[in-house]
Amino acid sequence: MKVLRITPDRCTGCMRCELACSYMQTGTFQPAKSVIRVSPFEAYASYAPYTCPQCAEAWCLTACPVEAITVSPVGAKVVLDDVCVGCKLCTIACPYGTIFYNAETGKAFKCNLCDGQPACAEACPTQAIEYVEAETHDWLGAFAAERAARHLTTLASA
């Protein structure tokens, strides 16, 4: 299955993925509605994007009481808007914080891999986000742990 492979070391924090993603989600350039999100590490000195890794054992899907989350033909876990009741259980269940609640529509929303042509991967100028055949993985874990440790060490020694 093709997945969004994220190589955090390549990210320069330009946020172009968020712009492209939000266009696919809303039809406007509105990063607040993006489902890929770039976070800063080490204060502001490094950045990395993150979105739903489409876990095999999807807790969002399991947690949903009305079966509004299903698997799309490209293997993405997607929210069925006409079934979702907006209870937000999925947002609590997700261990990565990559499923969101839209107060305007009253529905959950998340990465749907743009039905097989992810805009974020196309928009990324540094190939920090690629859409490739691979096993999915917690792409950010090691990077975040190392960066956070470094930041905390600096704070401790300050």
Partner 1 sequence: MGSTVPGGYAGKILRVDLSTERIWTEELTPEVCRTYVGGAGLGAKILWEEVPPEVGWDHPDNRLIMATGPFAGLPIWGTGGLTVVTRGAMTNGATNTQANGFFGANLKHSGYDAIVIQGRASRWVYLYIYDDTVELRDATPLLGKDTWETQQALEQLLHLSGHQLSVYSSGVAGENQVRFAAIAGDYGHVASKNGCGAVMGNKRLKAVAIVRGTKGLRVADPRGLMLAAEEIADDLKYDPSTRSLYEYGTLPGVMNLLRLGALPIKNYTTNVAPPGVDLDKWTAPGLRNGFPHRGYQCNACGMHHCHTQVLPAGPHQGELVDEPEYEGWSAGWAMGCTDPVAVAWLNTQIDRACVDVNEFGWLAGWVMECQEKGYITKEQLGGLELRWGDVEAANRLLQMIIRREGFGDLLAEGVKRAAERLGGPAAECAIYTLVGNTPRGHDHRARWEELLDTCTGSSGTLDSGPPVRHTEWGLPARFSTFDPEAVARVVGVTRGRRHFEDSLGACIFTTRTYMATLCRALNAVTGWDFTKEEAMRCGRRTAALLRAFNVRCGITPDLERPSKRYGSVPVDGPAKGQDISKHWEHMLDVWYETVGYDRRTGKPLPATLRELGLEHLIPALWGSEEAAHARR
Site for partner 1, residues 51 to 80, rule: CB under 8 A: none
Q: How many residues bind partner 1 (CB under 8 A)?
A: 28
User: Does the protein bind partner 1 through residue 26 (CB under 8 A)?
Assistant: yes
The encoded tokens of residue 109 equal: 């929303």
Considering the complex, what minimum distance in angstroms separates the CB of residue 7 from partner 1? 13
Rg (CA), the chain: 16
**Of the two residues 107 and 147, which places its CB atom closer to partner 1 in the complex?**
147
Query: Which has the closest alpha carbon to 68: 52, 83, 58?
Result: 83
User: Does the protein bind partner 1 through residue 126 (CB under 8 A)?
Assistant: yes
| Residue listed under structure tokens 């993603």 | 21
Distance CA 141, CA 24 (A): 27
User: Does the protein bind partner 1 through residue 131 (CB under 8 A)?
Assistant: no
Cβ–Cβ under 8 Å, residues 22 and 31 = yes
Distance CA 67, CA 15 (A): 33
Distance CA 105, CA 84 (A): 10
User: Does the protein bind partner 1 through residue 144 (CB under 8 A)?
Assistant: no
User: Does the protein bind partner 1 through residue 30 (CB under 8 A)?
Assistant: yes
Binding test (CB under 8 A) with partner 1, winner from 5, 36, 46, 61: 46
Contact positions vs partner 1 (CB under 8 A): 12-16, 19-20, 22-23, 26-33, 38-40, 43-47, 123, 125-126
